[in-house]
Structure 1
Amino acid sequence: MPTLYTTTRHLHGSGKAFEALKSDYILNHNKIENPEDTYNFIDNKFVKSSATTWFDLHDPATNNLVTRVPQSTPEELKAAVDSAAKAFPEWKKTSLLHRQQIMFRLVGLIRENWDRLAASITLEQGKTFADAKGDVLRGLQVAETACGITTQLTGEVLEVSKDMETRSYREPLGIVAAICPFNFPAMIPLWCLPLATVTGNCLIMKPSERDPGAAMIIAELAKEAGLPDGVLNIVHGAADTVNFILDEPQIKAISFVGSDKAGRYIYSRGSANGKRVQANLGAKNHACVMPDANRNATINAIVGAAFGAAGQRCMALSTLVLVGEAREWLPEIVEQAKKLNVNGGFEDGADLGPVITPQSKQRIEGLIQSGVDEGATLLLDGRGYKPEKYPNGNFVGPTVLSNVTTSMKCYKEEIFGPVLVCLEVDTLEEAIDLINDNEYGNGVAIFTNSGATAGRFQRDIEAGQVGINVPIPNSIVGGNYFYGKAGLNFYTQLKTVTSLWRSEDAIATKASTAMPTQS
């Protein structure tokens, strides 16, 4: 079992001091001597891959090698599906209360290993340790919700006529899959695993090849919680693994979070193969700022939402639309951004860490330059930023571009980095029209102290998700959300059973040829 993801023994109980856990997992960016390869997780076992293709995973703060991630072989991918297929009949028959008890135990284990999961995220993905803990928390909340399955998955009975009733209830689909992104290595697996399995499905999970560590820890904890062999299998890789999941007939549904291009491909090909697909894609989220908004609160919200996690969030408010006199706030936004501490994620006081890869850094810096070349004003330039301790990391400091127009590349493309592009308009109507014209306008926020303005905005804006004085996230394709009642519905199919038990049959001696009536 790879020691990077597991400990010799967990220290249980809230009374254990955090300092006592430090020997159990990595809490620094020091070079790892003799990094171990990442394993597959098949049939409740960590299995070394026979892959011939490997992806080197580097600490984004140092670019030191952390582990190698396999492109799982066709045989390993098939073994994962076979394991799930073997497990499904028995898991489907397992009582709802028993599945619920396993989920209770998993939630407890995640809480006990919260810091350990966060440390893995910081090491592999680059988030600050505090932000990584938030990543785990948001996933944990969905797992906790899944513990309420007995009240969420209730059936219904309808009396359709005398002595005839229709019962409806939900059953698992069978084998389902999750294709997870690099930017939320714990949250997205925990959006999928609890709901998929507590409803009786078996799950094939593909974490991002850029940071699979958190998913591997979750697999270990799920096994310890009592999840049976084959209910969760984890395989690795890039396009080959994705295409296997899209084409494998035994996989009935797919959950995906990631880029817009990949998501539309997955949705199209998966749907064409008759699978249910829910895809949470990238976005170009706008924040409309009215001059009457609470100035201090709005600036703090924008800076946090634009630059948190180095801008690598699908819910990042990366585009600012300043209405009227609100354009005068730009210098204060820049000053607040300058105060952010860009550093290695394990460093005390770090506000944002590096971006995921050197290629991401290069792309982000190229989009910044494209804005300058097309006439934008560079108010704050984060290119070339190098923390003293981490000169070889993938760091981009907070960047602010003003005088941006809708024709510029930096506006039209999702930058996915710590870059805030700012546009200026004179009226609320102009702001609404500008936002509605953007093809990625799926999430939007308005900051104002006027209820009438907020009401006008929420009525006229075409985005599906609207925040009022709060940042708002992401975009969904497939008509299903990943958690709550909609998530449960996605992982189950509705079954209705209509039965007729005539009360007079016990003594009936005469047949009736008439259609049943409602009396």
Structure 2
Amino acid sequence: MASPSMPTTIGHLINGESDYSADSLVEVYNPATGEQSAELCFADSDTVERAIASAKSAYPQWRDTPPAKRAQVMYRFKQLLEAHSDELCQLITQEHGKVLSDAQGELVRGIENVEFACGIPQLLKGEHSKNVGPAIDSWSEFQPLGVVVGITPFNFPAMVPLWMWPSAVMCGNCFILKPSERDPSSVLRIVELAHQAGLPNGVLNVVHGGQAVVEQLIDAPDVQAVSFVGSTAIAKAIYQRASEQGKRCQALGGAKNHAVVMPDADIAGAANALMGAAFGSCGQRCMAISVAVAVGDDTADALIAALTPQVKALKIGEGRVAGCEMGPLITQQAKQRVAAYLQAGADDGAELVVDGRERSVPGFEQGYFIGGSLVDRVSPSMSIYQDEIFGPVLVVVRVESLHQAVDLINQHHYGNGCCLFTRDGEAARCFADQVQIGMVGINVPLPVPVSYHSFGGWKSSLFGDLSAYGPDSVRFYTRRKTITQRWPSSGIIDKTQFAFPSTDA
């Protein structure tokens, strides 16, 4: 880690080269120590234009590169990711704060998406029909869009970019990535490895910045599509801005994920599952379980009894320390926000069974640490239930039946993920069928789809028609073109036709 007095300068990567042009410099911190570790160049308008021009220039040749050759580059890239995994995980932990095991899990999930991208040539095959009319053949092709943009969040600095650009470039597009300013180092190192694998200059570019950079990228005439993961308010704004200009957009927003615990559930097993789902990565996951819905007071009491000692015993510390289970939040402001929600919950009448504000980490007093919190007797009207806290807070809501639990979930404005703990197959089938959520788990607390499925919620958790990665990514990053042809031959067209064409003519 660099000395706070001599921070490392992190620049952009444009046309395969580092670029340190800056409208301003923004500080990057190690959240475990609260110390500055780097300064980040925020792009000025000319820098953004250079990135767009680089991608536009590289596009014609990359578009015409055979998909099999693109796949060879992607496979070499996958091998480099695996060879440099320890280095990348160290960078993730130093800037994000998550424990090393969590960083490793993130990177593995990202690599799985690269593996999927290696097989995209199979999904680019079109459809062909012979003799749809007299001597007429018809077929479809999936053609790339051109220059596309990805805007990614701090909570998964490696994985979420790997959701986007490998599929986009495998489809023949050129990509501009705008990563989070909180933890940019692992992103840049990954892009360097992509170039080392043989990705041509200009196919993948990185620019840093805030709202002005994002808006310039969206508004650029040469940008054809935008992918975004972040908060709901920003997701909605980006989707509206891009859509108003006729651009394709997928914008993934926030979540308030529920776990329903039935009376017949294995309470000890459910509690263990909820610990990782609620407090892993300090709760800074869009798929984190933040609400436990207990069916019946007996179930709630048993669940609280099982969770309380585990929440109190969470091993909190610097992410590279062996045995740590939870690191810090990303910023001091995030810590203050979580604390404010806990206070609001207490003021509204909820019971703070475990109050994470009381925890500290010796030797890291300036870090952004907060303990895990368990809050019982929460009602749907409370802000601690309604809002996405994005921190290590698990609230418990008590209901009397599975029907009430499903209604509770369906009435919430978020619709990202949920799960049910039960031994009853009929209850599980009913839940999976009736709950209005995009990703559902049965005795699986984090139902994150594998790379060859697609990731996406409903309601205010996703703006756009296509989900992230998997098969949907190929459809998002390509356009279908249907071609119908007939080669003139004697006797086929012997008179002028005014009727609408059909299979008879």
Q: Select which of 330, 334, 337 maps to 1:360.
A: 334
* Corresponding residue for residue 75 of structure 1: 46
In the TM superposition, 1:1-20 aligns within 5 A as none
How far is the alpha carbon of 1:171 from its aligned partner?
0.6
User: Aligned in 2, Cα 1:441/1:198: closer, same or farther, shift over 3 Å?
Assistant: closer
Mapped pair 1:220 → 2:192: yes
1:136, 1:73 → 2: CA distance? 31
2:376, 2:39 → 1: CA distance? 41
Query: Does the 8 A contact of 2:74 with 2:117 survive in 1?
Result: yes
* Corresponding residue for residue 431 of structure 2: 457
How far is the alpha carbon of 1:236 from its aligned partner?
0.4
1:211, 1:517 → 2: CA distance? 58
In the TM superposition, 1:224-235 aligns within 5 A as 224-235=196-207
* Corresponding residue for residue 349 of structure 1: 323
1:460, 1:481 → 2: CA distance? 20
TM-score in terms of structure 2 length = 0.93
Mapped pair 1:97 → 2:97: no
1:167, 1:440 → 2: CA distance? 40
* Corresponding residue for residue 430 of structure 1: 404
User: Which moved further from structure 2: 382-391 or 93-102?
Assistant: 382-391
1:240, 1:463 → 2: CA distance? 33
User: Aligned in 2, Cα 1:161/1:38: closer, same or farther, shift over 3 Å?
Assistant: same
How far is the alpha carbon of 1:247 from its aligned partner?
1.1
In the TM superposition, 1:303-318 aligns within 5 A as 303-318=275-290
Determine helix, strand or coil for the equivalent of 1:383.
helix
Mapped pair 1:323 → 2:309: no
Mapped pair 1:493 → 2:493: no
How far is the alpha carbon of 1:441 from its aligned partner?
3.3
Mapped pair 1:110 → 2:84: no
Mapped pair 1:205 → 2:177: yes
* Corresponding residue for residue 11 of structure 1: none
* Corresponding residue for residue 453 of structure 2: none
2:49, 2:413 → 1: CA distance? 38
Q: Select which of 441, 444, 454 maps to 1:467.
A: 441
Aligned Cα root-mean-square deviation (Å): 1.6
1:449-506 deviation per Cα after TM superposition (whole angstroms, max 9, x unaligned): 000111222222222322111123563321212212110110000111111135xx2x
* Corresponding residue for residue 258 of structure 1: 230
* Corresponding residue for residue 135 of structure 1: 106
- Match for 1:204: what amino acid? I
User: Which moved further from structure 2: 329-338 or 349-358?
Assistant: 329-338
In the TM superposition, 1:186-205 aligns within 5 A as 186-205=158-177
Query: Does the 8 A contact of 2:254 with 2:416 survive in 1?
Result: no
* Corresponding residue for residue 144 of structure 1: 115
Determine helix, strand or coil for the equivalent of 2:483.
strand
Query: Does the 8 A contact of 1:443 with 1:466 survive in 2?
Result: yes
Q: Select which of 477, 491, 501 maps to 2:463.
A: 477
Determine helix, strand or coil for the equivalent of 1:203.
strand
Count residues in correspondence.
487
2:492, 2:99 → 1: CA distance? 78
How far is the alpha carbon of 1:428 from its aligned partner?
1.4
How far is the alpha carbon of 1:338 from its aligned partner?
2.0
* Corresponding residue for residue 119 of structure 1: 90
2:502, 2:345 → 1: CA distance? 72
* Corresponding residue for residue 56 of structure 1: 27
Give the fraction of aligned pairs with identical amino acids, expressed as a percent: 41
- Match for 1:197: what amino acid? V
In structure 1, list runs of 5 or more residues that go unmatched.
1-25
* Corresponding residue for residue 240 of structure 1: 212
How far is the alpha carbon of 1:518 from its aligned partner?
4.0
Query: Does the 8 A contact of 1:271 with 1:277 survive in 2?
Result: yes
Determine helix, strand or coil for the equivalent of 2:121.
helix
* Corresponding residue for residue 9 of structure 1: none
2:492, 2:259 → 1: CA distance? 75
2:66, 2:274 → 1: CA distance? 47
How far is the alpha carbon of 1:168 from its aligned partner?
0.6
How far is the alpha carbon of 1:50 from its aligned partner?
3.1
How far is the alpha carbon of 1:176 from its aligned partner?
0.1
1:411, 1:54 → 2: CA distance? 37
User: Which moved further from structure 2: 391-400 or 336-345?
Assistant: 336-345
User: Which moved further from structure 2: 123-132 or 440-449?
Assistant: 440-449
User: Which moved further from structure 2: 485-494 or 42-51?
Assistant: 42-51
How far is the alpha carbon of 1:31 from its aligned partner?
4.7
2:504, 2:214 → 1: CA distance? 52
1:71-125 deviation per Cα after TM superposition (whole angstroms, max 9, x unaligned): 2000000110011111111111111111111111111111111111111110001
How far is the alpha carbon of 1:388 from its aligned partner?
1.4
2:397, 2:327 → 1: CA distance? 27
2:79, 2:187 → 1: CA distance? 16
User: Aligned in 2, Cα 1:376/1:108: closer, same or farther, shift over 3 Å?
Assistant: same
* Corresponding residue for residue 451 of structure 2: none
Mapped pair 1:392 → 2:327: no
1:50, 1:479 → 2: CA distance? 36
2:502, 2:55 → 1: CA distance? 45
How far is the alpha carbon of 1:34 from its aligned partner?
1.9
1:134, 1:510 → 2: CA distance? 63
1:62, 1:201 → 2: CA distance? 40
2:250, 2:493 → 1: CA distance? 54
Determine helix, strand or coil for the equivalent of 1:267.
helix
User: Aligned in 2, Cα 1:409/1:510: closer, same or farther, shift over 3 Å?
Assistant: closer
Query: Does the 8 A contact of 2:354 with 2:374 survive in 1?
Result: yes
2:182, 2:492 → 1: CA distance? 73
Query: Does the 8 A contact of 2:355 with 2:374 survive in 1?
Result: yes
Query: Does the 8 A contact of 2:300 with 2:398 survive in 1?
Result: yes
1:2-36 deviation per Cα after TM superposition (whole angstroms, max 9, x unaligned): xxxxxxxxxxxxxxxxxxxxxxxx6xxx8566221
TM-score in terms of structure 1 length = 0.91
Q: Select which of 511, 514, 517 maps to 2:494.
A: 511
Query: Does the 8 A contact of 1:480 with 1:487 survive in 2?
Result: yes
Determine helix, strand or coil for the equivalent of 1:278.
strand
1:85, 1:510 → 2: CA distance? 43
* Corresponding residue for residue 7 of structure 1: none
1:289-317 deviation per Cα after TM superposition (whole angstroms, max 9, x unaligned): 00101222211111110000000000000
How far is the alpha carbon of 1:282 from its aligned partner?
0.8
